[in-house]
């Protein structure tokens, strides 16, 4: 998950001070059945019995994963209303946007992780964490099966299952090799902390191996050829970090191989950073050119062997091979096996991720939610509901829609179908009623169903799926937590828009993503950024903005202290190249 981005939830959630009531609920699974006992410490002793009874009725929420989405959900959740259990093979949350910095030791791995138990502790008890991997989700029977990932010398069952009333899937994604042969075996990835640590060791290996006696210049060049596949934000940031690491630190210690090092970035599209503004993309390409980083655009990798990477130039169809020392594969994400298995169970086959509705509920199961990289929202099309919308809007059943009638429902339409808003913006229409204007731009009193359909016919073309970023995941987690917190209230007082297909209102407003912008660090204290309001900023001042935003967004004061101390250390002493 990549997110050179900035959001406001983290600091808000961080500084909240929950009440002092501490309740510990311990779940014990043995011989297949779930036994529950609770130990409750309350400041109000007399409430003890009562609160125990309330707890017995609490709905069980199981959260899978402790990445951006899961952690954000947990932070936002009012845990006094639920029995919460969290399952993750990693007992920490990692600030993944700084992973590229970890690969080169600009920031230490330890500085961007925070134990999930510590994050949960700020909520004063009540959440159970199991360090295990979810291996199967049985949505029909509301169970998840888990396997602990500890070595076998320790005693106890390695497998257990949990029953849930609500399941929140926030398992993230795994790398997608697009079935390119050799990628799994020979490439590095950049998704987990361990990946970044391996890359760091591997970079030093390449330099040490190139420095050994007996190598020809050609062999040294091969070992010192670093290839990055994927010109997205992660790949570009890694290339930039690597270039800095080499020019600022490594060549001082390995002066004899100075002129033999090469970095190549392979991008299948025509430009790197193609999800960014064109100006940023071109700024990055020029910067890389000056730095001597070779950017090969329009190239698709066809296979990777132990020594060579084979690629096809899309325009000419030519296939060429280049020898390499290290390859980092930083393109594409795919579904994890456990997600694929669930998708098969619920008839969602051949998808990259779990489909949810606009309320993040997994389509085809009950009480299962999916957030973050493992999910995509299936946005309902306006055209699918166009007749129903017309019917609901046409209050007097006149067969035509007046401006007034349209204005009465437009708010609901905008909330229910966010593509309408995007369409308006793309047409530079300020007032929604302007939609009803005729082709000459004159106001119309009313429109009939056919005219209505034709007016909205292009709206759905503005639908777009959300990027797989930390920013999206965190917002989804926070949104879902809010829904959970208001679940009871909103049953009686729904706060969502009109239901066009049925009567009444939706219980909640659908999830709506708010893009706060995106950073693209380019090395040498240069960063590009897309800021809110389509503002583009590039250069050293943006790098300082990046430092301050990333420091402020840290999950704890500890990691904030560490990250800032790492940056200081890098300024003073450079990056360490000890092979540990």
Indicate left, alpha or beta for 297 from its phi (over 0: left) and psi (-120 to 50: alpha). beta
Q: Which residues contact 563 (CB under 8 A, 6 or more apart)?
A: 95, 98, 107, 111, 112, 550, 551, 554
Q: Which is nearer to its own copies, 121 or 427 (CB)?
A: 121
Shortest distance, position 257 Cβ to its own copies, whole Å: 11
Q: Which residues contact 255 (CB under 8 A, 6 or more apart)?
A: none
Q: Which is nearer to its own copies, 256 or 429 (CB)?
A: 256
Shortest distance, position 109 Cβ to its own copies, whole Å: 6
Three-state SS for 143?
A: strand
Under a CB-based contact definition with an 8 Å cutoff, are residues 522 and 284 in contact? yes
355 CB burial (10 A radius; 0-12, 13-18, 19+)? middle
Shortest distance, position 274 Cβ to its own copies, whole Å: 31
Does position 141 interact with its own copies (CB under 8 A)? The reply is no
Shortest distance, position 33 Cβ to its own copies, whole Å: 10
Does position 215 interact with its own copies (CB under 8 A)? The reply is yes
Please identify which residue in 118, 312, 458, 486 interacts with its own copies, judged by CB under 8 A: 118
Q: What is the token pair recorded at 72? A: 């954000």
Stretch that binds its own copies, among 70-78, 117-125, 373-381, 408-416 (CB under 8 A): 117-125
Cα dist from 242 to 25, 249, 255, whole Å: 47, 10, 17
Shortest distance, position 69 Cβ to its own copies, whole Å: 19
Does position 152 interact with its own copies (CB under 8 A)? The reply is yes
Please identify which residue in 256, 319, 388, 429 interacts with its own copies, judged by CB under 8 A: 256
Q: Which residues contact 118 (CB under 8 A, 6 or more apart)?
A: 556
Under a CB-based contact definition with an 8 Å cutoff, are residues 208 and 579 in contact? yes
Under a CB-based contact definition with an 8 Å cutoff, are residues 98 and 112 in contact? yes
* Window 341 to 400, contacts with its own copies (CB under 8 A): none
Angle between helices 68-76 and 470-485 (to 10 degrees): 30
Secondary structure in 3-state letters for 50-65: HHHHHHHHCEEEEEEC
Stretch that binds its own copies, among 206-214, 359-367, 379-387, 445-453 (CB under 8 A): 206-214
Does position 540 interact with its own copies (CB under 8 A)? The reply is no
Does position 132 interact with its own copies (CB under 8 A)? The reply is yes
Does position 319 interact with its own copies (CB under 8 A)? The reply is no
Does position 175 interact with its own copies (CB under 8 A)? The reply is no
Shortest distance, position 89 Cβ to its own copies, whole Å: 9
Does position 259 interact with its own copies (CB under 8 A)? The reply is no
Indicate left, alpha or beta for 214 from its phi (over 0: left) and psi (-120 to 50: alpha). left
d(CA 427, CA 260): 52
Does position 84 interact with its own copies (CB under 8 A)? The reply is no
Three-state SS for 218?
A: helix
Q: Which is nearer to its own copies, 83 or 131 (CB)?
A: 131
Shortest distance, position 374 Cβ to its own copies, whole Å: 22
d(CA 560, CA 550): 9
Please identify which residue in 1, 62, 173, 204 interacts with its own copies, judged by CB under 8 A: 204
Does position 90 interact with its own copies (CB under 8 A)? The reply is yes
Please identify which residue in 23, 55, 78, 115 interacts with its own copies, judged by CB under 8 A: 115
Q: Which is nearer to its own copies, 157 or 457 (CB)?
A: 157
d(CA 328, CA 226): 8
Does position 209 interact with its own copies (CB under 8 A)? The reply is yes
* Window 54 to 73, contacts with its own copies (CB under 8 A): none
Does position 443 interact with its own copies (CB under 8 A)? The reply is no
Stretch that binds its own copies, among 150-158, 293-301, 310-318, 418-426 (CB under 8 A): 150-158
Does position 571 interact with its own copies (CB under 8 A)? The reply is no
Shortest distance, position 265 Cβ to its own copies, whole Å: 20
Residues in the chain: 580
Does position 109 interact with its own copies (CB under 8 A)? The reply is yes
Shortest distance, position 509 Cβ to its own copies, whole Å: 36
Does position 298 interact with its own copies (CB under 8 A)? The reply is no
Burial 356-394 (b: 16+ CB within 10 A, else e): bebbbbbebbeebbbbbbbbbbbbbebeebbeebbebbb
Cα-Cα end-to-end distance for the chain = 25
Residue ranges in 15-134 assigned as alpha helix (H):
48-57, 68-76, 99-103, 116-121
Does position 579 interact with its own copies (CB under 8 A)? The reply is yes
Q: Which is nearer to its own copies, 122 or 381 (CB)?
A: 122
Does position 136 interact with its own copies (CB under 8 A)? The reply is no
Please identify which residue in 18, 269, 298, 323 interacts with its own copies, judged by CB under 8 A: 323
Stretch that binds its own copies, among 186-194, 357-365, 419-427, 532-540 (CB under 8 A): 186-194
Does position 27 interact with its own copies (CB under 8 A)? The reply is yes
Burial 158-195 (b: 16+ CB within 10 A, else e): eebbbbbebbbbbbbbbbebeebebbeebbbbbbbbeb
Stretch that binds its own copies, among 20-28, 354-362, 374-382, 478-486 (CB under 8 A): 20-28
Shortest distance, position 202 Cβ to its own copies, whole Å: 8
Shortest distance, position 553 Cβ to its own copies, whole Å: 18
- Interface size with its own copies, residues (CB under 8 A): 76
d(CA 121, CA 131): 16
Does position 37 interact with its own copies (CB under 8 A)? The reply is no
* Window 444 to 483, contacts with its own copies (CB under 8 A): none
What percentage of the chain's residues is helix, strand, coil (to nearest 5)? 40, 25, 35
């Amino acid at each position: 998950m990549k997110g050179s981005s900035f959001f406001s939830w983290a600091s808000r959630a961080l500084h909240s001070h929950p009440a002092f009531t501490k309740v510990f609920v311990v779940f014990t699974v043995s011989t297949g059945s779930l036994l529950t006992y609770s130990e409750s410490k309350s400041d109000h002793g007399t409430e003890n019995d009562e609160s125990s009874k309330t707890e017995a009725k609490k709905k069980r929420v199981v959260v899978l994963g402790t990445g951006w989405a899961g952690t954000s959900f947990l932070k936002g959740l009012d845990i006094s209303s639920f029995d919460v259990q969290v399952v993750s093979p990693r007992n920490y949350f990692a600030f993944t946007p700084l992973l590229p910095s970890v690969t080169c030791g600009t920031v230490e791995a330890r500085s961007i992780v925070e134990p999930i138990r510590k994050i949960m502790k700020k909520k004063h008890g009540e959440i159970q964490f199991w360090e295990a991997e979810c291996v199967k989700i049985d949505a029909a029977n509301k169970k998840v099966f888990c396997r602990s990932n500890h070595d076998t010398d320790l005693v106890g069952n390695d497998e257990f299952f949990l029953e849930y009333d609500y399941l929140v899937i926030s398992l993230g994604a795994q790398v997608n090799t697009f079935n390119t042969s050799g990628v799994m075996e020979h490439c590095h990835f950049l998704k987990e902390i361990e990946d970044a640590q391996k890359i760091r060791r591997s970079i030093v290996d390449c330099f040490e191996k190139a420095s050994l006696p007996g190598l020809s210049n050609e062999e040294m060049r091969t070992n010192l050829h670093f290839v990055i596949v994927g010109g997205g934000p992660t790949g570009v940031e890694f290339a930039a970090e690597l270039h800095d690491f080499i020019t600022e630190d490594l060549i001082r210690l390995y002066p004899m191989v100075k002129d033999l090092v090469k970095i190549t970035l392979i991008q299948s599209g025509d430009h790197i950073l193609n999800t960014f503004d064109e100006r940023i993309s071109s700024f990055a390409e020029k910067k890389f050119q000056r730095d001597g980083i070779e950017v090969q655009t329009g190239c698709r990798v066809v296979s990777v062997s132990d020594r060579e990477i084979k690629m096809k130039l899309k325009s000419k169809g030519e296939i060429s091979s280049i020898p390499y020392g290290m390859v980092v594969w930083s393109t594409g994400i795919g579904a994890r096996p456990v997600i694929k298995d669930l998708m098969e169970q619920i008839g969602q086959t051949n998808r990259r991720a779990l489909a949810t509705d606009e309320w993040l509920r997994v389509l085809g199961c009950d009480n299962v939610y999916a957030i973050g990289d493992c999910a995509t929202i299936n946005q309902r099309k306006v055209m699918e509901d166009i007749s129903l919308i017309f019917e609901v809007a046409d209050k007097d059943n006149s067969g035509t829609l007046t401006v007034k009638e349209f204005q009465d429902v437009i708010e609901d339409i905008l909330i229910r179908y966010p593509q309408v808003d995007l369409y308006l913006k793309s047409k530079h229409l300020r007032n929604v009623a302007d939609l009803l204007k005729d082709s000459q731009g004159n106001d119309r009193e009313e429109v009939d169903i056919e005219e209505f359909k034709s007016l909205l016919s292009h709206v759905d073309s503005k639908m777009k799926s959300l990027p797989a970023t930390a920013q999206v995941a965190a917002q989804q987690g926070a949104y879902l937590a809010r829904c959970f917190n208001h679940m009871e209230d909103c049953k009686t007082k729904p706060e969502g828009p009109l239901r066009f297909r049925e009567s009444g209102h939706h219980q909640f407003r659908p999830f709506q993503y708010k893009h706060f912008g995106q950073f693209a660090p380019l090395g040498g204290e240069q960063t590009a950024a897309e800021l809110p309001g389509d503002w583009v900023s590039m250069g050293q001042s943006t790098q300082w903005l990046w430092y301050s935003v990333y420091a402020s967004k840290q999950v704890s004061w500890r990691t904030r202290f560490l990250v800032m101390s790492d940056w200081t250390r890098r300024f003073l002493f450079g990056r360490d190249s000890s092979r540990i």
